[in-house]
Chain A
Amino acid sequence: MHEQETQTEYIVTTDGLVKSYRLGDGSDLTVLDHLDLRLPKGKLIMIMGRSGSGKTTLINVLSTLDDFNEGSVRLLDREYSLMNPKEKEKLRRNQMGFVFQSVALIPSMTAIENIDFGLRTAGVKQGREERIREVLEVVGLAERGNHYPVQLSGGERQRIAIARAMAHRPPVLFADEPTGALDTESGHHIAQLFKDLAEKEGISIIMTTHDLKLAQMADMLIRL
C-alpha cells in the first residue's frame, strides 16, 4: 500500500544511482555517487550546482539520453534498466518533453510547424491545430506562429521550444539550462512559464540552472 502511494506521488525516483566516466588515463570519474531521489509530480524541480557537478549528467540520465552504471531509475513505475533502446525512444517520445539551452528549433520550420513536428513525433494525430493554438497562447506567442526561428528573439525561441515540448502533454519536461543563453529578464519569464505550466498543466518540470534567483522559484531544489 505504501509502495503504491509512492508510485503515484513521484514522477521520477532513483535509488543508489551511480554514473561515472572512464577518463583517458584509464581511471574512472564518478559524477553521480549513489543518488537517491524522489521527484514529485506536477512541481517545478530545479537542479543546482557548480560547473562540472553533474547537473547535465543527471538530467541526461533521468531523461534516458544517457546510461548509468549502478542503481535504478524509474519514471512512472517504469524501470530504465529493464528497457531496451526502442522502449526508451518511445518513452522519450510520449512521456517526456525537452527544452535545451541551444537553439532547439528546426530553422526551416515556422513556430507552428516546429510545434506540429513535436506533436507528430509524439504520435498525436487528431486536434493538432487546436493544441498548437493553445500552447502558443500559453507561451504568449499566439501572434508569432508563422515566424521562422531566425525571426524570433532568443527568449521567444525558447518559449516556442517550451510550447513544442509541452504540446503533447508529457508528464515530465526536462530542461537543461533553458535560461543559460538568455538575459536575466527573459530567463525570469521562462522560469515563470515553467512554474505556471507545473501548476496549471500539472507537468513535472525538471530543470537545471546555476542562477540562484531562479532557484528561488523552484518547488523543489536539488543541490549537487
Chain B
Amino acid sequence: MIRYLLTKIKNKYKLYACLICGMVAMTMIFSMIQMFRLGSLNKVIQRGFIKQNSITGVYPASVSGVLDITSFTLQEELAAGKSVADTINEQAESYAANWKKSLQLPVVADQRFLYFLNVRPEYGYVSNNMVINLGCLDDGLDPAAVKDHYTLEAGVDYYEDISEYAGRGAEIPEDAYPCLISRYTADSCDLVIGEVLSFPFLVYTNGNTINDQKVLQVYISGIISEKPDDYYWQKSLSKGAPMLILTKEDFLKISTEYTKECKCEVYQSLDYRDITSERVGRVKSILAKLKKKDDKLEENITPVLESYRVESRSVQQMVYVIVLPLMVLIITFIGLISFRIIESETRELQTLRDRGLSKLRLIQTYFLSAFFLSQISVPIGIVLGFFFGRAVAGVADFMGFTAPGTISVSEYVFNPSMVVAAEIAAFLAILINLVPVLLFFRKKKDQRRISIVPFWERYFLDVVLLAVSVYLLFNYNKQLTVLSDSVMKGDGIDPVIFINATLFLFACGLLMLRLIFYLITIVYKIGRKHFSPATFAGLLQIIRTRKSSGVISVFMVVTVAMSLFHANMARTINSNIEARLQYEAGTDLRITEKWPITMVKSFDDEGNTVMKWRYTEPDFGIYRSLVEDGTCTRVTKVANNDSLVVTMGKAAIRNVQIMGIQTREFGETAILKNGLNKQHFYTYLNDLGAEYEGALISSNLARELKAKEGDSINCDMLPPKVTGMKNPFATAKVKIVGIVDSWPGYQRYHYTQGEEGEIIEEEKYLVVMNYPFVNANYGMFPYQVWGDLPDKGKFEYKEFRDRLKGMLLATEREAESVLSWENEVAMNKESAIIQITNGLFTADFLIALLLCVIGYMIYWITSIRDRELLFGICRAMGITEGEVNRMLVMEQLFLSFMSILAGVGAGLITSKFFASVFAAVYLPQKHNVPVFVSSPGVDTIRLSAVLIVVVIICILWIRRILKGLNITRALKLGED
C-alpha cells in the first residue's frame, strides 16, 4: 500500500506538490492565526499598561497596602520570645510576600515605609499641633539598596559629619538619631538641616501618652530627592504626610524602646510583561479576592485588565474575520487540486474497481495519502507560520515590510496552540481532499459526463448571495452610528460586517464571471459563422468547459478581488488614521510646556481680598535655537486653551477653544489638508491678518450663534482651572472675518464615556484670533510651540524629546507634552488592531497571490497535458501551430485577463461599498477629516502585473509544449 501511494505521488508529483502547497498554506494560516491572536492580545495588555503609565505617570502594575502592626497583632510573637524588631520585620515581609505568592508575578520594585503615624514633636519648633510621621524607608528586594534610590540634595547622609550644619537649630545631642527629609517635608514643616526635634511625648492619635522614658531626639542631617525614572518610588516623598526618615536599624530600635505599634506601607511594582492573555483572568480574580480580604489594598492593574477585556473581543474577532476569505480561498485551492488529481486518475480508479477493489479500500488509499501529506505539511506550516507571521507582523503599512526591530514583534512568539491549530487545519485539509473522491464514487459511470453550466451559475447563486449581502450592507449603512458607538463602547466588532464583505466579494466576483461568459456567448453567437477554426474551437472550449475551467476563473477573480479589497481597506484605514493624526496635530511638531502659575492676594476697589494669578512665560530662546540648529525650519507661538465664553445676542457658548496665532508664521508652520474648508486656509489667514480685531470661527459656532461673516461677537475669558475661579476675567469684542469647518489642531468632536458605559459625543467650538490681540485683551497665558520640520519622515522623535527634555531641565523647566504626528502615526502602527490589519491583510494578499499563481499554472499545465491528444488531432488535420497557439491565447485572454479584470472590478466595487462600514469599525469617531477611500492603484498594478506575468509565462510554457509536440506520438498516446 505504502509503495503504491509513493508511486502514485511520484508519478503525479506536480499535482501532489501543489496539494502539499495548499496544505502547508492551510496549516501555516491556522498556526499563524494562533500566534497573531495571542500575540495581539498580549500586545493589547502591554500597551494598556504602557498607556496607563503615560496617562498617570505612575508605574502601571503596582499593588499597595497598609499593614497596622499593633500591640494586638504583636502579642503572640512577643509571647513566643521574638524581638519587636524581628516581629515587625517578619510581619511586613509576610504581608508583601502574600501578594507575590498569590499573583505569581515577579516584583521589579518593592518600596516600603515603616513609621509611627502622626507623632508630635515638642512644641516650639514647629507650628502648633503639627504632627509628623517618624519612620524609615525599606527596599523589599534589597534592604541595603535603599541608599541607591535617593539623591542627597543638601546636608549629609546618616551618621556623616554634620558639624558644618550644627548650631542652626538646637545643639545636636550625642544620642540623637540622624534623619533625612524630603524637600516637601522641609517646606511644609519649616525644617532645616541640623535642626533637632524632640519627642517627649510619643503620642498616639487618640492622644494617650506613654510613660516618661528618655526623650527621643532626632536631628535633620540632609534633604533628599527621589532618583528620576526609578521604579522604586511608587509613593513619592512629596505625597502624604511629612516624614522624618530614619535608618531602618534605628527605627526598629526605637520601635522596641518607645512604641511597639507602627504602620507598614508596601508598594510593589510588578512585572506586567508576565501578565499574558492566558493569565488575565487569574490575575484579575486573585486581585479581587485580595481586595476583598484587605480593604486597604490598592492596585492599578484591574482597570487595565478591564479595558483589555473589552478590546480583546474586537482583536480576537478581527483576527479570524480578516483571514476568513483567505481560508475559503485555500479550501477552494485544495479542492481544485484534489479534483484535478481525481480527474487524472479516473481511468486508474476505474481499472482498480474493475479488478475488484472495494470503494472503501480506494477511499482508504486516498485518506492515507492525504494523511501522509498533511502530516508533512504540519511542521512545515508551523515553521513557516511562525516566520511569515513575524514578518507580516512587522509591516509598517500594507505590504510595507520593515527591517527587523523597526516595529516591535516581541509578543508574537511560538505557542502550543499553534500545533493544535495546525493539526485541525491538517484534518480539514484531509476532509477537503476526500470530497472529490467521495463524489467520484457517488456518481454512476454514465453520469461522469461533462456538464456545461456550473452549479452556482445554474442556480443563480451569485445573484442570490449578492442580494443577501447588499441587503445586509444596506442595513449596516443605516446603522453606522449605532455601529460606531458599539465599537467605541468596546462591545466588539460585529463579525457579520466582515463576513458580509467576503460574501459580497465572492458574489460580485461570480456575477462578473457570469457576465463574462454571457459576453463570450454573445460574441460566439454573433460571429460563429465567420470564425476561423482556432477562434471557433477556442470560444467553444471556453463556453463548454466553463464548469471545470471556471473553477480557476472563480479562483482568479476571487483572489484578485480579495487581494485588492484587502489592499484598499488596509490603505484606507492607514491613510485615514494618518490624515486624522496629522490634522489633530496641526503641524509637524507641537510642544506644550508647563508654565509656572503664581497666585497672589490682592484687593479690589472696594477693599475686598481677591486672588490673582500670573503666568510666567518661559524663555522662548530654546525654541529659537531649534531653528538655528536646523531641527525646525520655523517655530511659532500658538496660544491655545478652551476657556472662552462666546456670546452674541442671547446665545452664549462656553468652553470654546481659543487659538491665538501669528498669521504669517502660522501659515508657514501649520498643516491643513485641502478640501476641508470652502477656501484654502491661507485665504482665511490673510483675512485674519488684515483685521487686528478679527476672528475666524468654526462653522458649528456660527450655526449655534446664527452668526455670519461681518458680525461681531463677545469673547469672555475664564480664569485658569487651577485657580478654581469661575467668573470671566476679561472680555473682547471681535469681528467675524471667516467661518471655517476645520482648522489645524481643532477637533470638532470629542468623545467621553458615561457612567453606564454610554458614549457621549460633545461638539467643540473654535475662535481663532490674532496673537497680539489675544495678549492685549487676555494677558499672557500658556502657548504651544508649533514647529515645522525640514526632513519630514526622518525625524527622530525619541532623540529629540530626550534632547529637549534635557535642555528644559537645565533651566528647571518641564515639557508637558511633545507631540509629533509622525511619531503618533508610528505608535499607532504598533497598536494591536493596526498590526493585525496590516499584517493579516498583507499575509492574505501574498498567500492568495502565491496560491493563485500556483493554482493557475498547475491548472494550465496539467490541462494542456490532458489536451495533448486534442492538439495532435488538430495538427494532424492540418491546423497550424500558430492556429493552435491562437486558440490557447484566446482561451487565456478570455479566461485569465477577463478574470483579472472582473477581479479588479469586484475588488474596487467592494472597496467602495464597504469603506464606510469598515470605517465605522476602525474609525468610529466622527472627525473633521471625513473618511476617504485610499485606492492608490499601485496594488492593482502590482497584482495585475504579477498575474499577467504568470499568464504570459503559462502561454510561453504552453508554446514550448506545443513546439515539442510530436503529432504521431500524441496520437499514439491517445490510443494508449
Q: Does B607 contact A (CB under 8 A)?
A: no
Once the chains bind, are B878 and A104 in contact (CB under 8 Å)? no
Could you mark each residue 165-195 of chain A with 1 if its beta carbon is under 8 Å from any beta carbon of chain B, else 0?
Answer: 0000000000011001100000000000000
Of listed A117, A180, A181, residue having the most chain B CB within 10 A: A117
Which of B533, B869, B877, B880 contacts A102, CB < 8 Å?
Answer: B869
* Interface stretch of the complex, out of A44-52, A68-76, A105-113: A105-113
A150 and B450 in contact, given A102-B869, A108-B545, A109-B544 (Cβ under 8 angstroms): yes
A186 to chain B, nearest CB (A): 17
Q: Does B937 contact A (CB under 8 A)?
A: no
Cβ–Cβ < 8 Å partners of B543 in chain A: 108
* Interface stretch of the complex, out of A24-32, A85-93, A135-143, A214-222: A85-93
Which of B533, B544, B972 contacts A117, CB < 8 Å?
Answer: B533
Number of interface residues of B (CB under 8 A): 27
Number of interface residues of A (CB under 8 A): 37
Cβ–Cβ < 8 Å partners of B540 in chain A: 106, 108-109, 113
Interface SS of chain B: helix
Once the chains bind, are A92 and B533 in contact (CB under 8 Å)? no
Q: Does B536 contact A (CB under 8 A)?
A: yes
Q: Does B532 contact A (CB under 8 A)?
A: yes
A92 and B876 in contact, given A65-B967, A101-B975 (Cβ under 8 angstroms): yes
Q: Does B879 contact A (CB under 8 A)?
A: yes
Q: Does B103 contact A (CB under 8 A)?
A: no
Instruction: Give the residues from 140 to 164 in chain A that come closer than 8 angstroms, CB to CB, to chain B.
Output: 148, 150-151
Q: Does A94 contact B (CB under 8 A)?
A: yes
Cβ–Cβ < 8 Å partners of A180 in chain B: 975
A93 and B971 in contact, given A117-B533, A120-B536, A121-B533 (Cβ under 8 angstroms): no
Could you mark each residue 54-76 of chain A with 1 if its beta carbon is under 8 Å from any beta carbon of chain B, else 0?
Answer: 00100010010110000000000
Once the chains bind, are B971 and A102 in contact (CB under 8 Å)? yes
Could you mark each residue 115-129 of chain A with 1 if its beta carbon is under 8 Å from any beta carbon of chain B, else 0?
Answer: 011101110000000
A108's closest neighbor in chain B, by CB?
A: B544
Once the chains bind, are B873 and A100 in contact (CB under 8 Å)? yes
Once the chains bind, are A106 and B870 in contact (CB under 8 Å)? yes
Q: Does A10 contact B (CB under 8 A)?
A: no
A120→B874 CA distance, assembly (Å): 12
Which of B537, B874, B877, B968 contacts A66, CB < 8 Å?
Answer: B968
Q: Does B449 contact A (CB under 8 A)?
A: yes
A121 and B971 in contact, given A104-B873, A148-B450, A150-B450 (Cβ under 8 angstroms): no
Which of B536, B877, B971 contacts A92, CB < 8 Å?
Answer: B877
A100 and B537 in contact, given A121-B877, A151-B449 (Cβ under 8 angstroms): no
B546's closest neighbor in chain A, by CB?
A: A108
A151→B448 CA distance, assembly (Å): 11
A120 and B532 in contact, given A60-B968, A106-B537, A148-B450 (Cβ under 8 angstroms): yes
Interface SS of chain A: mixed
Once the chains bind, are B545 and A102 in contact (CB under 8 Å)? no
A89 and B869 in contact, given A113-B540, A117-B537, A120-B533 (Cβ under 8 angstroms): no
A160→B229 CA distance, assembly (Å): 92
A119→B879 CA distance, assembly (Å): 12
Q: Does A80 contact B (CB under 8 A)?
A: no
Once the chains bind, are B975 and A120 in contact (CB under 8 Å)? no
B833 to chain A, nearest CB (A): 50
B305 to chain A, nearest CB (A): 64
A115→B28 CA distance, assembly (Å): 51
Cβ–Cβ < 8 Å partners of B536 in chain A: 116-117, 120
A121 and B878 in contact, given A65-B967, A113-B540 (Cβ under 8 angstroms): yes
B94 to chain A, nearest CB (A): 86
Once the chains bind, are B975 and A102 in contact (CB under 8 Å)? yes
A131 to chain B, nearest CB (A): 14
Instruction: Give the residues from 513 to 564 in chain B that come closer than 8 angstroms, CB to CB, to chain A.
Output: 531-533, 536-537, 540-541, 543-545
Cβ–Cβ < 8 Å partners of A107 in chain B: 450
B883's closest neighbor in chain A, by CB?
A: A121
Cβ–Cβ < 8 Å partners of B870 in chain A: 106
A90→B879 CA distance, assembly (Å): 8
Cβ–Cβ < 8 Å partners of B400 in chain A: none
A90 and B968 in contact, given A113-B540, A116-B536 (Cβ under 8 angstroms): no
B448 to chain A, nearest CB (A): 8
A116→B873 CA distance, assembly (Å): 15
A93→B543 CA distance, assembly (Å): 26
A65→B967 CA distance, assembly (Å): 7
Q: Does B974 contact A (CB under 8 A)?
A: yes
Cβ–Cβ < 8 Å partners of A177 in chain B: 975
A161's closest neighbor in chain B, by CB?
A: B873
Q: Does A96 contact B (CB under 8 A)?
A: yes
Once the chains bind, are B974 and A103 in contact (CB under 8 Å)? yes
A57's closest neighbor in chain B, by CB?
A: B968
Cβ–Cβ < 8 Å partners of A90 in chain B: 878
A105 to chain B, nearest CB (A): 8
Instruction: Give the residues from 875 to 897 in chain B that come closer than 8 angstroms, CB to CB, to chain A.
Output: 876-880
Could you mark each residue 272-296 of chain B with 1 if its beta carbon is under 8 Å from any beta carbon of chain A, else 0?
Answer: 0000000000000000000000000
A118 and B968 in contact, given A102-B869, A102-B974 (Cβ under 8 angstroms): no
A95's closest neighbor in chain B, by CB?
A: B878
A65→B536 CA distance, assembly (Å): 24
A103→B866 CA distance, assembly (Å): 13
A89→B543 CA distance, assembly (Å): 28
Which of A94, A100, A108, A181 contacts B878, CB < 8 Å?
Answer: A94
A100→B449 CA distance, assembly (Å): 22
Which of A121, A150, A176 contacts B449, CB < 8 Å?
Answer: A150
A181→B975 CA distance, assembly (Å): 9
Instruction: Give the residues from 952 to 976 in chain B that come closer than 8 angstroms, CB to CB, to chain A.
Output: 967-968, 971-972, 974-975
A92 and B878 in contact, given A100-B974, A102-B971, A102-B975 (Cβ under 8 angstroms): yes
Once the chains bind, are B974 and A89 in contact (CB under 8 Å)? no
Could you mark each residue 850-878 of chain B with 1 if its beta carbon is under 8 Å from any beta carbon of chain A, else 0?
Answer: 00000000000000000001100110111
A154→B225 CA distance, assembly (Å): 102
Of listed B533, B537, B878, residue having the most chain A CB within 10 A: B878
Cβ–Cβ < 8 Å partners of A181 in chain B: 975
Could you mark each residue 350-383 of chain B with 1 if its beta carbon is under 8 Å from any beta carbon of chain A, else 0?
Answer: 0000000000000000000000000000000000
Once the chains bind, are A118 and B877 in contact (CB under 8 Å)? yes
A121→B532 CA distance, assembly (Å): 8
Which of A63, A65, A93 contacts B879, CB < 8 Å?
Answer: A93
Could you mark each residue 207-218 of chain B with 1 if its beta carbon is under 8 Å from any beta carbon of chain A, else 0?
Answer: 000000000000
A120→B877 CA distance, assembly (Å): 11
A98→B879 CA distance, assembly (Å): 13
Cβ–Cβ < 8 Å partners of B544 in chain A: 108-109
A181→B974 CA distance, assembly (Å): 12
A119's closest neighbor in chain B, by CB?
A: B533
Cβ–Cβ < 8 Å partners of A117 in chain B: 533, 536-537
Which of A91, A101, A120, A148 contacts B531, CB < 8 Å?
Answer: A120
A21 to chain B, nearest CB (A): 12
B536's closest neighbor in chain A, by CB?
A: A120
Cβ–Cβ < 8 Å partners of A106 in chain B: 537, 540-541, 870, 873
A93→B540 CA distance, assembly (Å): 21
Once the chains bind, are B533 and A98 in contact (CB under 8 Å)? no
Once the chains bind, are B450 and A98 in contact (CB under 8 Å)? no
Which of B450, B532, B968 contacts A108, CB < 8 Å?
Answer: B450
Once the chains bind, are B877 and A100 in contact (CB under 8 Å)? no
Of listed A98, A103, A106, A118, residue having the most chain B CB within 10 A: A106
A108→B540 CA distance, assembly (Å): 7
Cβ–Cβ < 8 Å partners of A60 in chain B: 968
A108→B968 CA distance, assembly (Å): 22
Provide a sorted-by-A list of 10 A–B residue pairs whose CB atoms are within 8 angstroms: A65-B971, A91-B878, A100-B876, A104-B873, A108-B450, A108-B540, A120-B531, A120-B533, A148-B450, A181-B975
Q: What 6 A-B pairs come out closest when comparing CB atoms?
A: A93-B878, A102-B974, A108-B544, A92-B878, A120-B533, A102-B975
Given contact pairs A89-B878, A100-B975, enumerate 9 new A-B contacts (beta carbons under 8 Å). A63-B876, A65-B876, A66-B968, A89-B879, A108-B540, A117-B536, A117-B537, A121-B879, A148-B449
